[in-house]
Structures are given as C-alpha cells and as structure tokens.
Structure 1
C-alpha cells in the first residue's frame, strides 16, 4: 500500500450517476465524509431512466430531496399510463394501464407517490443537495487503479481535464461504476442470469407536429407495435421534445452507423402512423437490456451498488430504483460502523439483504417486458420467471428474510404475493400519520439518522430501557411513545400497535432505512436486558 497519499476519506464512491449521487446524498445526511469521482464532465444529458417508484420517493423524502425532484419533474406530472398501439392514428390501441395509482389507494401505504423524472433532470438535483450536505463531488475524474488490504483501500485518480494525479486512501469503496464495472472485473466477481435480453438505440428528436398526433393522451411510454417499425415513444416535455427507442440487432451485424438521421426519422413516422410530421434528430445513444446479478456484492472493503451489481430489463423502471435502494441500505450500515456503533459484521448483511432483492426484482422486470411485449424483446423459455406479485408489491413490499433483522422467516419469499406492511421484521415499517409537537408527519419521516424504538405512550418501561442501553453501548437510539398526549399522536385515533403487529405492551425497533429490525409483541421480564441482547446481536457488537 502507498504510504504517501494526497487525501484520506472514510468512503470513496466511484461513479456519479443516479446510484453514486444517491449514495453521496445519503452519506452526507448521516455526517459521513466522502469523495465521489465521475469520469464524465457532467451529469447525464440524455433523457433516460425516468420512473422513480414509491419506495425511492419515500427515501428521497426523508433525505430532503422530494420537493426538488418533483419540481424538476413538473413538466411530466400529468403523464401516467402506458399505451400499446399499432400506431397513434389507427384503431389498434389499448392502455396497458392508464393510471399508476387508480383510486388513490397508495395513500394507505405511503406518504409519497411515484414520480416521473428523467435522469438528466434528477441528477442535477442530487448533485446540488449532496454538495450542500458536504459531499466532495469531482467530475472529469477517473479512478485508474485501486488496491486494498484488511484496513483500507488505496486508489489512484486522474483528472481528465488537467492531467493531475491524486492518490486517495479510504476506509471503504462503493463501486457505482455501471454494468461494465471495471471494479467488479478486478475483483473477479461473476454474474448469473440469462444475460442480454435485447438492444435498442435511444433517439432524441424534436417535432412540433407530433403533439397534435398524440393529442390528450398523456402516457409515460407508448409501445408502438407496427412490425415494419416498432419501438417505444416517450415524451420529454409533451410539446416538442421526444425520445424514441428503436430496436437494434447487433447480433445480425447491424451497426450504430446504420441508424442514419434519415432512417431514424422515417422509422418514427412509420411507427406513429403520421407520414408527414416534422422530425429533427438531435441525438442517439445505444443501450442494452439485460438480466444479470452479481454473485457477490462485496469483496473486502469494496461494495457493489446499482448496475455494477445488477442489470434489469427497463420495463417497470426497476433497475435504477433498486440501485438507489442499494445505496440507501449500504449508507446507514457504513455510517453506523464508521461511528463505532456497530461491528464490521453489519456490513456483511448488505449482500445478504440486497442480492436476493435484485434476483427477485430482475426476474419480475423481465416478466414485465414479456407481458408488455416490449419492442425488440422476445423472451426465451424461462427468462424472467413467473409473475411474482404486482408492481406495487415488488416496489414497496419486498422484505429482508435474513440480514440485519431478528425474527424474520428465512423460508418466506423475498417478494410476497400481496402487500404485507404490517410490522413484520424485515419489511418496510408501516406508514402512519402522526402529530409531533403539532407538526403532521408520517412515521416514515422518523427513520433516517438513528435506530428508532416505538412504544405505547402510556408505558415508559421500554423507553427507559432504551435510554439506558443506548448509553451503555454509546449508540444513537431514539425512543418514541405513541398515543394521545404522547410524543407522537396518531391521527383519527389509529391504533399504532395493531398497525405494527404488536400490542400496547410491546415495542418495535426500526432501522435508519425504515425497515423493521425487531419487534416484541408484548412486555419483557427485563426490558433492558432484552434490548441489550437485541442491539448487540443486530449491530454485531462483541
């Protein structure tokens, strides 16, 4: 290891796209110093990766990013459904679904909602907020090599504009460097799964007349199925800016050079069924849909997150959301270990929790592509697996059946058949509207910086025990009483204990990422001893 280093940081993040930037924001919110490097000069300029599901928006809500993201997404706020059509001018049209949340039923489960915000609009919001939280973000900076031992990671960086070389020593490295991750390759981590599913060329274009053809159909995406010119049409501003995903067959010798402006414009006109509309091609970018999951998420002090750990079919927008949730899971664990509140064994639970989620979610994404007849995709037998829960259950109802949880059933599926947000260990904690010192908030708003213990407002036994154990273990633990006149007052007389699957004599321990770590359905003979054992086990304290 190099003894002469220019910079020392607790965490080095390699990759400044959605996942790396999210990791920076989450670590900054937890007070962890870090450095993020990204080889490109700026954030993404190509519209892509637009669907942010409800779980991701819950996370961004607690991280103080939701408002900025919704402002950046305002132009597409009224776009909701997915349309499938032979053309936009014929009769062969059907809505695969017209509303993301018909009837507003999602409000029972969450204070947040889905948000359609293209990656090129979302990333600048994350950059601004991450820097406000103290993140050191350096674009045009490439990691050229790294090495690690049992106590640290050394990395050699180069500024691609100035040529300056920088050596960095970090306690941990997060590899958010994409599907062709050089870091994963150096670690010799293999991937499993069917592999490549299909290939597309993403074409950005301007058209003033296309808006008249689309009319009042405010879709997220329209799958156009004309065999002579199929593809997917996505609005950027519903007026003049659009994206079209055209199938690409590199395995048949087709090259990117074959996609001339003239060919692309004619393909789009044929697909939408309007031969005379104006089209000005403004950009082209290839992309590849695949289903692959890394066999390991960590090697020593290096952790994979996002596309470096998993690739998924784009249908359902699961890939970027799963990656952001990787970063969220890893950030609180790194912070807890770096603060000395947990043993390094806590970091082993990152792979134990997130790898099964990626496997289940990637299979569901491929199945969704088959169900929607995504242009360019012909599912091979067995690819994508069977239908495993609805979209909302996959996005919000997944659970950790092993890892940093006590009392979860490891025999249960990672994605249940129906929504089961009932306080079971390993599941996302239930949402409940409460008043805290007069302010209305969701219980989910309480979960970010510390472990949280929920107890009944009329019994102080658990809360007193929590204060004593937190002092003994020198860790951050916030305990709240819930009930009339207590720290948290539920709205409309809601029964917090029933909602969390316990009794007024019980307690529920929630992790900083909002997942239930443990619960007691009743009182304990010795609450302090019980909590001490729970916390030392959960946090891998010796």
Structure 2
C-alpha cells in the first residue's frame, strides 16, 4: 500500500543556500511550480562566499535580481584586488592583482560585471525574488528520506519546529544540500579529485581601529603571511566589521575548541601588526577546502547541484559561481521536459555538460590557491601566475550535450577568452535597440529558444517558426539589422553575423540559458528541415 501523499509538486529542491535559492529563482522565472526545503531556520548569517563572477551576474540580470544584489552589495562596491602582505603595518606589500577589470575591458563582452556581495547579503535578495515569483520555500524543514521510481520521487519531510512529518511526491528532486550531501550519499554516488586541501576557521569580529591600519587599501581580501599569525583578512563594511580566516589543522589533532576568543584575538593582532587592537569576536565557523567532483550528477530523477556535486578551493569564488550556473543549466532543461517540448534525454545532458566544467574549474581553483599561498595551504604553486580567469568565467563551453554541431575536441575551458559563437559556447553579447530601448542580446535568452538572423532572414524566420510549431517548441525569432522591417537594430559598428561566426544570410539558434545550440553559416536550400533537425537534436526529440 502506498503511503499517503500530502503534497504534489513538479520539482522538490533540498537545500536553501545560494544554489538552492538560485534554482528556485530560475524555476520560478520559467513558471515551474516547486517546493524548496532548508533545515536551517533562515538564510546565512555568516559573511562568506562573496565573489560573484560576471557570468553569474549575467544570469541574475536576466532573472531580474541584479539591481537588488548590487544594492545589497553597495558597501563593498569600491573594494578591488587581492593584497598579500607580511602584516598591514609591515613593509612587504604586493598586490596579487589590483583590479578585477583593469581599464574596463569587460564592457566589450558583457552587460554585467563582477559583484562583491557576501552570502549573508545575497541570499535574502534571492529568497525575496523567489517568493515573489510564487516559490514555496520552507525553512526549518529537513529531508528525512526519499525513494524514487520510474514516475517520480517520494520524499518524507519533517518540520524541525513542530516535528510534523509530511510526504511530498515530486517528479524531480534537486539536491543542493552541501558538500556532505545526504542525498548523494543515499544514491551511492562517489567522488574523485585531490580530496581535502586545507582547513580554516572563519572568525567574524569588530575592531573599530582596524580601518586606520587598512587605510585606503580597499581590498577584496588581504593574505597576511606573518609566520606567527598567518591568515586572510576580509572587510565586511570597511569600518569596524571584518572576517579573518585562520589556518586550522585538524589533521594534526587540533580541536576546533582550541580557537578560544583569547587565541583568536591574539592571532588577529599578530596577523594585522596592530598589537593593541581592540577586538570583539562575534562568531566562528569552520570550513574545509577540498577538490572533489561527483562521479555523476544524477541518478534517475534526482540531480546534484552546487557543493553536493563539486567542492572547490575558495580562491577565486569558483565554487559558488559554478553551483549557480549548475542550477541555471538544469532549470531550463527541467522546464522543457516538464512542459513537454523536450524529451527526457535532455536531462542526461546536465551531467554531460556540467561535470567537465566542474572538473576543470576545480583544478583551476586549487592552482589559484597555491599561487596565492592561501593561508593553511602548503601546496607548491606551478610556474608562472595563472592567466585566463575570464576564460573560466565566460569561456567555459559544452563540446558535447544539448548541442548540434559542437566540437568534442575543443577544451572545456580555453586558455584565453574569445567569443566565437560556436555551438556549445556562450552566445556573444552585443547591444541592440528594440523600439528605441537599449538591451543586451543576452536579455533575449530565458523563456524560449531564440533564432537570430540578419536583414535577409525573413525566410529563416518563417521556416523556423513552422519547424517549431510542428514540434510544439517555444521559439522566438529576431532579425537584426537597420531596415524598417528588422526586429532589432545593432549599435553602429557592430556586425552581429561576424560576432556569431556566420555570414549575412546565416542563422544562429540560442538555448534558453544563453548558449549557442546550433548555427548555419549560410542559408541552406531547406531551412525548415535544417532548423527542425537542430531542434530535435538539441532537445532530444528523436
């Protein structure tokens, strides 16, 4: 006899931190009803995970959350660069990098930019946006157990406040339940990678006079290398609230209880080089840096996202960004399958696309920690400093997956970033005018697939619409040009076709997540057949 089902929902999200909240936001934008459960009573109170890269901000821009996030992040808007110093008052000072975007070159490639917003400030914005879209988000609620069959997932949930238990039946489950993921463990999915790298204790504190020692060096983080007191200092408000990451060595038997308030105060004074600094400890949280990637990202109807799928060294904030991008990749695919306009095989491409990206990115994160001599990490850096951070943020691609015409021999993350418009790569950004309103081409990609053509593309539009209607696939088409009948006008000096790697009679098909699905350099004899074949290949329609 089947157990009583209290709730039915298309998607159940387990975990309400950055990745789970992002998944809720993205699904809500796509009209997918879902339930999110989080065992803690609310969003994070600890200022961590602060670096949001340009790709993440592009996704949150399209989702309507960018303005709220930048407002929440305004106190650190002028902080730039990573400083390495013996102490704040010492003579050995070196900027590992001074500006995230020197010279403003990023504006050529994106309508967005990096944003320094701590997790405790970012999560409430995502929560508010997700709830405004109708998301059902329940805190103090934990997943007790789950079972799946060919048709869905049955999950037993428990309120940590009342003890009440309810059974939820979902078609799919997203596990964003952290690096020790009980869901991943229950599924028996293994991990590979270097494993544990180092351990830190994150200490939040108040120190009014510390701003005097910092002066005008408004850094993102400062790595303090005094052997008697190494650590990383991060500003919270640039005035009196700070975070200090102190090395911790549990592998040598050092207990967490050894980090008393007195020890932490003395360590901070030594590290900063301000002996009489008045310090008030306000919180402590241990964290573990590791390099691990799940051997698979799904099992049946259950999908891993964020830290449950991959762990990365924190240097560069690659982990949280990769997790949010996981959620974005998965959201449109779930929406397509649930909406009936894609085959279930589309969901298999989630692992195909995202796992290779995580493997390469995790390796880059570990190398960057070694290069920056992150406190507590004793690995020897490679020769020369890493280049191509923008390649990791914007250049990652899907040589295989929900793509027609991808090149499986291409590296997942190139050494340097160059927008090409190739299938499997992020669609290039260009500024456009629509009825006199300026928008980025990236703003077009969310609710449906998009076909871009030039002024000569009227036949492409008609043929593509016929193919999409026959397959019941949502498709928007836009002609880009300066003619009266064109839908979008490029800014002067911009050649949309060249930017996307096609000729003036070509066409480009872009997925809802802003990745190029297919392109045709010129117009074939049967445009409808060409678009139809691309749609079937990309969406797994057979």
Q: Give the TM-score category using the shorter length.
A: over 0.9
- What is the match of residue 440 of structure 2? 442
Pairwise CA distance, 1:145: 0.2
Partner of 1:211: 211
**2:388 — aligned with what?**
390
Gaps of 5+ in 1: none
Tell me the CA shift for residue 387 of structure 1.
Answer: 7.5
Match of 1:28 in 2: 28
How many Å apart are 1:380 and its aligned residue?
Answer: 6.7
Identify the residue that residue 346 of structure 1 maps to in structure 2. 346
1:167 and 1:67 map into 2 onto residues whose CA distance is: 37
- Match status 1:186 vs 2:191: no
Residue 407 of structure 1 is matched in structure 2 by 405
State how far apart, in whole Å, the 2-side matches of 1:481 and 1:106 are.
26
Match of 1:271 in 2: 271
Tell me the SS of whatever aligns to 1:508.
strand
The residue number in structure 1 matching 2:311 is 311
1:422 maps to 2:396: no
1:134 maps onto 2:114 in alignment:
no
Deviation at 1:79, TM superposition (A): 0.3
Helix, strand or coil at the partner of 1:156? strand
2:44: which partner in 1? 44
Distance 1:387 1:303, change over 3 A: farther
Q: 2:481 corresponds to which residue?
A: 483
1:477-535 deviations in Å (ceiling 9; x for gaps) = 00000000311100014111001100111100000000001000011110001111111
Is 1:333 matched up with 2:326? no
Q: Which whole-Å deviations, capped at 9, do the CAs of 1:58-99 have from their partners, x for residues lacking one?
A: 000000000000000000000011000000101100100111
Aligned-residue Cα RMSD (Å) equals 1.3
Q: C-alpha deviations, 1:19-49, integer Å up to 9, x for none? A: 0000000000000000000000000000100
Q: Which moved more, 1:456-465 or 1:321-330?
A: 456-465
Whether contact under 8 Å (2:84, 2:225) holds in the other structure is yes
**1:123 corresponds to which residue?**
123
Q: After TM superposition, list the pairs within 5 Å mapping 1:44-443 onto structure 2.
A: 44-379=44-379, 390-443=388-441
Mapped contact 1:457–1:487 kept (Cα < 8 A): no
1:517 matches 2:531: no
Partner of 2:468: 470
Query: Runs of 5+ in structure 2 lacking a partner?
Result: none
Which deviates further from its counterpart, 5-14 or 415-424?
Answer: 415-424
How far residue 2 of structure 1 moved from its aligned partner, in angstroms, is: 3.3
Q: In structure 1, what is the Cα distance between the partners aligned to 2:476 and 2:438?
A: 19
- Is the Cα–Cα contact under 8 Å of residues 400 and 408 in structure 2 kept in the other structure? yes
TM-score by length of 1: 0.98
CA deviation after TM superposition for structure 1 residue 473, in Å? 1.0
**Aligned-pair CA distance for 1:457:** 2.2
Any idea what the Cα deviations from partners look like across 1:76-123, whole Å, max 9, x if unmatched?
A: 000011000000101100100111000000001100000000000000
With over 3 angstroms needed to count, the CA separation of the structure-2 counterparts of 1:387 and 1:468, relative to structure 1, is farther
- 1:444-475 deviation per Cα after TM superposition (whole angstroms, max 9, x unaligned): 00001110000012330110011111211111
Task: Say if 2:82 and 2:98, in contact at 8 Å, map to a contact too.
Answer: yes
Determine the C-alpha separation between the residues in 2 that align with 1:49 and 1:238.
17
Asked whether the equivalents of residues 367 and 385 of structure 1 are also in contact (C-alpha less than 8 Å), the reply is no
Q: CA deviation at 1:3?
A: 4.7
Contact 1:33 1:135 in 2 (8 A): yes
Cα separation, 1, equivalents of 2:87 and 2:285:
24
Structure 2: how far apart are the matches of 1:2 and 1:403? 37
Runs of 4 or more above 3 Å deviation? 384-389
1:305-355 residue CA offsets vs partner (Å, 9 max, x unmatched): 000000000000000000000000000000000000000000000000000
